[in-house]
Every structure is written in C-alpha cells, then in structure tokens.
Amino acid sequence: MASCEDVRKIALALEGVSEVDHWGRPSYRTKKRMFAVTRPDEKRVLLHLPEERKAFLFEAAPDVFVKFMWGKTANLLVHLPAISKKELTALVREAWENVQPAPRKIAAKRRKA
C-alpha cells in the first residue's frame, strides 16, 4: 500500500524536482512543468502521463486508476491504497519523464554551449 509520503519521497529523489504548493496541495515539478499533485484526501495522486498511457490504465484497472475530467481533458488519479510502492515508483518516474524536454532539444542545447 502506497501513501502521499511515498509520492513525496519518490518525486524528490528524481533529478531537478522541487515541491511546490498548488492550491493548498503539495505538487512536484521540474523547472518547467508539474507532473504530480497529491489530493486533499491523501489517498490519491494526480499524475501527468501521455494520453495513450492514461487510456490503457483506465481500461486495465478503473478502480485503481480513476478518470478525472478537467474540461475536455481526462486526468489520471491513482488510488494509492490500491497499489504497491514499486508500482507507484514506476508511475511517478514515468510522469516525471513525460514532462522532461525532448532528447533532441537537450542535445541542441548542449551543442550550443
């Protein structure tokens, strides 16, 4: 069983991540984008994943991966008590990787430097 404290530890262990208040909730972000926000009930975390990945998770386990609509966008809420810390680690890392700059942009910046 995973918890919001696990989310915090996992996220802050990733390179370039900081914890920032997001409307009274802890969120985790890189310099440019947020990738995780814990919910007030402390039993769920919103993760920013690619659309195709979210669709797969919604279909695979709708009781664990809850669809939360914000306008026309389907967001992913992970029900923390229903997943292991190992699964949570993989999902948080995936969300973090999803907000990283594309590899070609990183390579271009290095060439300019």
- The enclosing domain of 51 has a CATH number of 3.90.1150.30
13-52 pLDDT, tens digit per residue, is: 999 999 999 988 899 999 889 999 998 788 999 999 999 9
pTM score: 0.85
Instruction: Give the CA angle between residues 5, 75, 32 to the nearest 5°.
Output: 70
Amino acid 42: pLDDT: 81
Q: At what angle do helices 85-98 and 4-12 cross, to 10 degrees?
A: 50
Instruction: Give the CA angle between residues 71, 22, 84 to the nearest 5°.
Output: 85
If one counts the domains in the chain, the total is 1
| Encoded tokens for 24 | 């009274």
Residue 66: partners with Cβ closer than 8 Å, 6 or more residues away: 44, 76, 77, 78, 79
55-106 pLDDT, tens digit per residue, is: 999 999 999 999 988 888 889 999 999 999 999 999 999 999 999 876 655 5
Cβ pair 11, 17 in contact under 8 A: yes
Domain that holds residue 107: 4-112
